[in-house]
Each structure stands twice: as structure tokens, then as C-alpha cells.
Structure 1
Amino acid sequence: MKSGLPSSLSSDALSNMPVRSQSEFLDLAADALKDDLLGFHLALSFDFRALGFIYYVVASAETLAQALANEEEYSAILNEPVRLRSGRTSGLSVELSYEGLDPHLDRHFSEFWITGTLKQCRDFTSRELIPTSATMVHLRVGKVPEMDRYFGREVVFGADRDLLEFGKDVGDLPLVTHDPHLHQLLRRLQSRGSTVRAPEPDSLRFRVEKAITARLRYGTVTIDAIASDLGTSARTLTRKLAEEGVSFSSILDGVRASLAVRYMRNGEIVMSQLAWLLGYREPSTLVRAFKRWTGKTPTEFWRELKQGGFDDA
């Protein structure tokens, strides 16, 4: 396969990893293989039957809209880490979100799933479906022609959601994998024999990190704003973070440091743009912070990155 990973690892083993381990594995593998599109490449050859029950209850539905509605329903019931939300207004839409992950950072994981979702829609209908829109939350510098060719249109990065949109009639397409007997059997088995697992709440630190990331590029990160986003007061947020042994300022600094390195690894980026993405008004402030985080200026870091000096970063 193009990703260079063994086929056994790309299906059974990977699907059985915890979601955070999956994302970290993809990041490490992408660095080792020098494959900036590993998540995308992996999705093209992944055997989604390895997902088990949820794959078969989706694949056996009658129409594409029903299949996606089933995936939305059962991903919530089974507490799956990848959550899908489908809708039909002017057309068929499919939105992806990820429990316990930040789509701004975990790009290989999110590219795997949005590509895999399109691939399954095509496989289930035996149609070369072209979305009317394809957007992703994380940023990439420049265009990604290989992904654009597969999706049949330009994939837009830096958007508000990981989202696929299709024309109005796509949802009515019949599935070539439709099996009414299997579908009813699986639904009965789930309703009779399975315990519904409620989603585990995210840690406060993770929710703060996620809220900070969403606001950074707009320069609106304050403890009052983040507390409001989380439905609490700044005083309560400060107290609860202290109980976890962290402070708001340390979390903000950590998010900026992590994002800075990720953006640098994604491709060459000008300092003014990087400063804006991290919520700094002046590039000089970013340069000082970056040297504190890494011991190097952004220019020095980028130079060594191109020379392969940060494979384990």
C-alpha cells in the first residue's frame, strides 16, 4: 500500500487502538515514513469491515441517507470516538467530530476519517460521488492536489467543521450492499443485548485546550471568554484547574507551543501568519516564545526540520 504500512496493521491492529493512540501512531508513522498525507493514504486501502458491528449495520441499510443516519445513531450508542452527524436540507451533509481529540491538531486522524467517509459512500453506492463541498478544521499551507483529485474538488482547510456536502438527490441513492435481513437482525441484537454506554466526560483541561484553540486565531483568548464558553465563571475555572494541578496560563502556553511546532511541521509558513494563528499581535513576541519552547528560533527550527533533525519531535 502507498502508506508503506503492513496491511494487517492498517486494519485490525489500528482499529483496536484507543483513539488517542491511533492519532499519535499516525503522527509518528507519518514522520518515520516521510508521508505528509499518511491519514489520507491509509484510508484509501483500509478495510472498514474491521470496525465490526457499526460497519455492517451501516452497510446493510437501504439508502445512503439511512446508512449515515444509522452511523450517527450507533456511534452515539456505542460511544464511538468518531461521531458523525448527517443532515438533509438543500442536500446531504456529513459532519465529523472526534471525542477526546482536537481536529486543529490531529490532522492525520481527521484526514483518515473524512477520506474514509467519502470512500465508504462511494463503495456503498457504487458511484463516484463528488461532494459539492469538502472542508476541514485543521490548517495546511498551500494546496493539496492529491486530495483534491480524489475528492473531485478543492478541499478547504482552516474551516469551522470537518464537513462533506452532496447534492440533494444523493441521499436517496440505494446501497449495493443493502441486506434487509442482516440489517434488521443487527438492530434487534443491539436493542436486546447491548448495554448503552454513556459518553465519558472530557477532562476539564482538554475542554479548555479545545476552547483556546478555537479562539486563538481571532485573538480573543482570555480566561473570562474561555470560562464563558464552558458555561462557568473565571473564578470557578481557575479553582477547578488548580485542583487538576494546572493553571490557565500554562495551558494557553502549552497549546501555543504544540500548535506552533505542528504548523511548522506541516510546511513552510511565514512568521506573520504563524503569529496570527497563535494569537500574537507581533511576530517578535512569537519568536521569543518559540525560543523559550524549543531553545531555537523559528528559522533555526525550520532549517533543522528540513534537514531531518526533528524526526522524534
Structure 2
Amino acid sequence: MNYKQIMLQALIAFCEDRGLDSTKIVALSGFSIAQLMNSRKFAITDQQIENLWKNIVELSKDKLIGLHFGATMQLAALNTVGQIIQTSSTVRDALLQVRSLMHFVTDLYSMEIDLSQKTCGITYHKNEGFDHLPTTQMQIGDFLIALTIYELKGLLLKNLKPSMVGLPNFDREHHLAYETILQCPARKSAHYIVEFPKEYLDFQIITANYEIQTLLINQINQLQNPKELSGSLSKRIFNYLITNSYLYSLSIEAVAGNFNVSVRTLQRKLKDEGASYLQIVEEVRKSLAIHYMRNSTSSVKEISTILGYAEPSAFVRAFKKWTRKTPTDYRTSCH
């Protein structure tokens, strides 16, 4: 499996989701979509990838697009996550697995795990020989930081809050954006680093809902673009939430940050389409709840947790409002 190719394919899909012309971006970068999709003859040079990142940054007008991409990459990286889940029992095990897989994903960085008395730091060191690829180096570093945080949250089924994130290219102008996307304090540092309490290392990672993760990635296209939402932005936000909701819910601040607008602007644009953020979240939960109850064997408690409900009883009440049946009765009626 070519993880680098998978990542680039996911990057192009991410660009399309943000309304960018992916065909134009790829052509400007010196290769074609066909080359990118060809699994047997995938041959794109480092310079072409550098051109790709430069064009994406320029056309999106978003210097933090690597962070945004990392925050949405989980599903595209699920083949790797599936392997980690099936061979690990704790966060410590999972991180060691990730470190051993790093060279499959990128040659630009090496991953180290640094322990102190109270904290664990995941550090990404730049490898030598890639200074001629500055844009790729920066965006991939940002990508790795965001991906690490979001995947750790997913593996724990908890809203993990790192103690600190360090970024070599930290820019005070984007300080609020960093903290909105990464959901923790950010500062300038010599290397890319995510620091979190050491106690997390011994936490058990999820295993039971791997079925749900696989189910969602295999059928994600069937759930996108719901008929209940008519506006273009409303559907884009719905699709974004769907592809990021297999492990936890996202705040309006995180979504606005991903679409590179303020919360107020996002709310105003949705209002113009006759929709609201809460309405879209409700539609996402409804779609996923019905999908999981119909197609998986996961328990009501597991599904309610994945959808962000504090108690299964709250999920049951919502499900009855949507379908006029309890989740258990609904599942029985489908089989």
C-alpha cells in the first residue's frame, strides 16, 4: 500500500471539498489526476509535490491549510489506524506503532517520543536533505501535528486536550487560528511537538467501534449531500461533519476555522441559506444514528458515545423523535 499516494489523493479530495479547482491545481504542479490515481505507475517527483503545495496555498489563500488538512485526514488514513487499533491496547503501544510507520507516510520527518516526569512529548524532527522543499516541509509538519492530535482523540474516544503544541513556523498573526484548530495552547519551538499528560500513555484505546469506523469509510458517499439541506455551504458543512464525526463531534469554532471564516460569518452565510449550524449537526447525528443502527452490531451505548451524547438515554430520546421508534425497535424492524 502506497501511503504517500493515498495522502496526496486525500489532499486533492480535500481541496475539492473546499471549493478549489483540483484539476487546475494538479496541472499547474506538473502532473495529472490520472498519474495520481494510477496505483501501478505512481511516479511524482518531490519538486512536483512542492509545486502542488505552493499552488494549494496560493489558490486557497490559506497559509494554515496543512493544519486544516491534518484535522480532516482521519478517514483517509483509516487503513493505517485500523492496523494500529488491531495491534495495540494502549496509547503507548499505538504511538510506537505510528513511529514505525512514519517512513511510509513521509520522508521529511522522523518521530520521537520524549518522556518527562509528568508529560509525554511527540516530536517531529526534520530529516536532512529536504531544505529545497520549504513549502512541503512546513505544510507536512503542520499536517502531522493536527493529525496526531485528532487521531489521539479518536483512539481514546475522549476530547483529548494537549498541554501544548510547538510549531517552528509559529506566526503570532495566526495565534487564534492555531488554538482553534488544535484546541490547545500553541507557541514557537525548535521542532514540531505535541505535549500531553504522561498518564494518557497507559489509557486503553478503542477497539469495539472499529466496525463503525470501517462501515463509515466504506459508505461515506451514500451519506453525503442530504436532501434536507438545499444550500451549498450547508451541504459542504454537513459533508465535513460526516467525514469527521466517526469519533467525536466538532465545535462551530473548529468548523469555521476549517472553512477559513469567522464564526459570525459562517452563521450569517448559513442564515442566508435558511439553515443553522445546530440544524446541520442534528441532521448529521440523525443520519449517522440511523445508518449505524441499520448496518452495525454496535450497542446503543457505543453509538450514543460516538455521536457525542453524554448519556444513552439522551440518544434514545433523540432517536425516538427522529424515527418514532427506540433504537432497539428500529434495528429489529430492519432485520
Q: TM-score range by the shorter chain?
A: 0.3 to 0.5
The TM-score, its normalising length taken from structure 2, stands at 0.44
The TM-score, its normalising length taken from structure 1, stands at 0.47
Structure with greater contact order relative to length (CA < 8 Å, sep ≥ 6): 1
